[in-house]
């Protein structure tokens, strides 16, 4: 078997964003691959038959953006192509061209172009579309300049020698400068190729959902510092009203449960710094807000760390009178449901992590990391999973992959600490090997048993690799996650005791050759 090296990363297929077809028979999804030539990632749409698992590629140019199914069973996706896109780029103007492709065959054809730097359109019953688009408040008014002045201004805008920082935060993880950048909500007429902005200039949108001709969105307006609390709003019949005024709650994931009800994850202002959201019901008819479930966990996504995943997808979705959502439970990404009355049920808790999912008429498709595998798609039926895709099968047939061995101990503070040990590839008992201790960031994230490229690379290079979830991590309630005024104290003690535990349990770890690494807070 081949050894995993830094270059092996180029062989991985990163699956994400499963989306069921209108008839529920097929699932479209995104596949991304690292591209060393552009120092970026290629992105294409794929399709799988949910019954047979037959998988095929729909696009091949590597530029496919967010997508959505149309009512007619076609796929609509954005891509930076065409004359209209090029003309807008020349003026650094916001523009997105959308293409339509028939999943039964044929080339993608231009559908429409919107004057918005937008994502996937969410179509309303009246045919219009809600689109969230990126707005740069720093952009000069190029259109009002003469040709020479515009040419100079565009060049300076595209390649600035400096940045003026007027707001915090001013940088996005995995992105670029964010001062005076906003996500605006637009109501778009795709036939006329027009866009009406629904939010104020300094408002930034965090989330959006649609039902019928209604749009619910969350966000906040600010001019210097991004507040922790935002608001929840309803747009209907040309008017916007606040369901939750700004400043009262931190608004997390939310979805329409039905046309008149929204389920939302909210954390009230003044709650503990590490408090997790609870589940609330918002009745649109009278505006009543009702807390329906104490939760004490993440909602709409799992925090199981891995450097071998990429992409988005649904972390919360409503179906059949229930809102389904992904949450971290101990070391796993788990799927739960909540109904109108607040009854919470565990839907799926297999080892690993559910990264995203879709559900329709009680049928689920999961994008999940299971066992040693990177993310693949799984049908979830009658309580059992069935793997649909195998886009990384060739990697597993050719390379040495180490399965993390779980190990637990009770720390001196009384908490059970969960950890894992990865022996080096080719390890023979009785032979000493150096060891790398990996500390996760967050601190409110977790390690799990899922595939982690960097750690696999170290194990393939001849190292023991050890890692654990000290206090401060997600998935085990407020008492465990609370590190307020405790950074580098109780968690540090857990980490050092874990190292001692591993040295005692694995005597072939060479205690004279121990290395330590960590990302973000893990570096601290």
Higher-pLDDT residue of 147, 33: 33
Per-residue confidence (pLDDT) for residue 92, from 0 to 100: 85
Q: Is 148 helix (H, G, I), strand (E, B) or coil?
A: helix
Region 173-186: mean pLDDT is 88
List, in order of start, the domains of the chain with CATH numbers: 6-137+180-395 (2.130.10.120), 404-522 (3.40.50.1820)
Regarding beta strands 464-469 and 433-439, do their DSSP bridges make them parallel or antiparallel, or are they unpaired? parallel
Structure tokens at 348: 């799926």
DSSP codes joined into one string, 176-236? -B-TTEEEEEEEEETTTTEEEE-S-TTEEEEEEEEETTEEEEEEEE-SSB--S-EEEEEEE
Tell me the C-alpha distance between 372 and 363, whole Å: 25
**How much is the mean pLDDT over the chain?**
94
Rg over CA atoms, the chain: 24
| Inter-CA distances, 38 with 62, 236, 342, Å | 11, 43, 48
Q: pLDDT by residue (tens digit) across 73-99?
A: 999 999 998 888 888 888 888 999 999
Residue 173 has pLDDT above 80, yes or no: no
Region 58-63: mean pLDDT is 96
Residue entry with tokens 């996650």: 481
Residue 174 has pLDDT above 80, yes or no: no
The DSSP call for residue 201 is T
Tell me the C-alpha distance between 16 and 311, whole Å: 5
Percent of the chain with pLDDT over 90: 81
DSSP codes joined into one string, 379-399? EEETTEEEE---TTHHHHHHB
Structure tokens at 387: 């793997």
Predicted structure pTM score: 0.94
Residue 381 has pLDDT above 80, yes or no: yes
Taking the alpha carbons of 493, 495, 496, 498 in that order, is the dihedral positive or negative? Answer: positive
Structure tokens at 111: 């559908």
Contacting residues for 44 by C-beta, under 8 A, at least 6 apart: 30, 31, 32, 57, 58, 59, 60, 61, 62, 64
**Runs of H (alpha helix) within 301-351:** none
Tell me the C-alpha distance between 159 and 334, whole Å: 44
**Nearest in space to 500 (alpha carbons), one of 409, 432, 392:** 409
Contacting residues for 397 by C-beta, under 8 A, at least 6 apart: none
Per-residue confidence (pLDDT) for residue 249, from 0 to 100: 93
Residue 182 has pLDDT above 90, yes or no: yes
Structure tokens at 416: 């059970």
DSSP codes joined into one string, 34-103? EETTTTEEEEEEEEEETTT--EEES--SSB---EEE-TTS-EEEE-S-SHHHHHHHHTT---EEEEEE-T
Residue 281 has pLDDT above 90, yes or no: yes
Structure tokens at 35: 């591209």
Structure tokens at 362: 């009680």
**Nearest in space to 403 (alpha carbons), one of 425, 424, 426, 422:** 422
Q: What are phi and psi of 417, to 5 degrees?
A: -105, 130
Q: How many CA atoms lie within 13 A of 339 on its CB side?
A: 7
Rama region for 460: left / alpha / beta (φ>0; ψ in -120 to 50; rest)? alpha
Cβ neighbours of 436 (radius 10 Å): 20
Residue 143 has pLDDT above 90, yes or no: no
Contact 414, 53 (CB under 8 A): no
């Amino acid at each position: 078997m081949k050894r995993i090296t830094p270059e092996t990363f180029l062989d991985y297929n990163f699956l994400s964003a499963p989306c069921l077809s209108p008839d529920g028979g097929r699932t479209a999804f995104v596949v991304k691959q690292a591209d060393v030539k552009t120092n970026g990632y290629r992105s294409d749409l794929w399709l799988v038959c949910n019954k047979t698992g037959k998988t095929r590629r729909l696009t091949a140019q590597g530029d496919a953006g967010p997508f959505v199914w149309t009512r007619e069973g076609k796929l609509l996706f954005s891509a930076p192509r065409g004359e209209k896109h090029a003309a807008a780029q020349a003026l650094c103007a916001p523009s997105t061209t959308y293409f339509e492709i028939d999943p039964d065959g044929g080339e993608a054809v231009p559908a429409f172009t919107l004057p918005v730097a937008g994502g996937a359109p969410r179509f309303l019953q009246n045919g219009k579309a809600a689109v969230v688009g990126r707005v740069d408040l720093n952009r000069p008014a190029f259109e009002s300049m003469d040709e020479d002045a515009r040419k100079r201004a565009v060049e300076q805008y595209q390649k600035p020698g400096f940045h003026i920082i007027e707001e915090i935060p001013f940088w996005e993880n995995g992105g670029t400068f964010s001062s005076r950048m906003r996500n605006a909500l637009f109501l778009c007429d795709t036939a006329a190729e027009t866009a009406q902005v629904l939010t104020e200039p300094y408002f930034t949108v965090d989330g959006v959902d649609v039902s019928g001709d209604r749009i619910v969105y969350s966000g906040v307006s600010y001019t210097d510092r991004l507040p922790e609390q935002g608001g929840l709003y309803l747009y209907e019949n040309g008017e916007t009203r606040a369901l939750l005024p700004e400043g009262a709650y931190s608004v997390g994931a939310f979805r329409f449960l039905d046309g008149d009800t929204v389920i939302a994850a909210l954390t009230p202002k003044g709650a503990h710094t590490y408090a997790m959201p609870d589940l609330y019901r918002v009745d649109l008819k009278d505006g009543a807000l009702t807390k329906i479930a104490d939760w004490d966990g993440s909602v709409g996504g799992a925090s199981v760390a891995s450097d071998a995943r990429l992409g988005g997808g649904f972390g919360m979705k409503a179906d059949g009178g229930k809102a389904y959502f992904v949450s971290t439970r101990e070391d796993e990404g788990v799927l739960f449901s909540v109904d109108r009355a607040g009854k919470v049920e565990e839907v799926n808790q297999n080892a690993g992590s559910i990264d995203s999912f879709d559900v329709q008429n009680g049928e689920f498709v999961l994008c999940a990391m299971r066992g040693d595998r990177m993310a693949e798609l799984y049908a979830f039926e009658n309580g059992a999973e069935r793997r649909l895709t195998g886009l990384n099968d060739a990697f597993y047939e050719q390379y040495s992959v180490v399965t993390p061995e779980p190990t637990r101990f009770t720390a001196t503070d009384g908490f059970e600490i969960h950890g894992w040990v990865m022996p080096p590839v080719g390890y023979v008992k009785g032979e000493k090997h150096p060891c790398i201790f990996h500390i996760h960031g967050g601190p409110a994230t977790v390690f799990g048993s899922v595939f982690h490229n960097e750690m696999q690379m170290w194990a393939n290079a001849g190292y023991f690799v050890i890692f654990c979830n000290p206090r401060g991590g997600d998935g085990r309630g407020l008492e465990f996650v609370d590190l307020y005024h405790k950074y580098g104290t109780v968690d540090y003690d857990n980490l050092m005791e874990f190292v001692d535990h591993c040295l005692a349990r694995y005597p072939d770890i060479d205690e004279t050759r121990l290395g330590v690494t960590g990302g973000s807070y893990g570096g601290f």
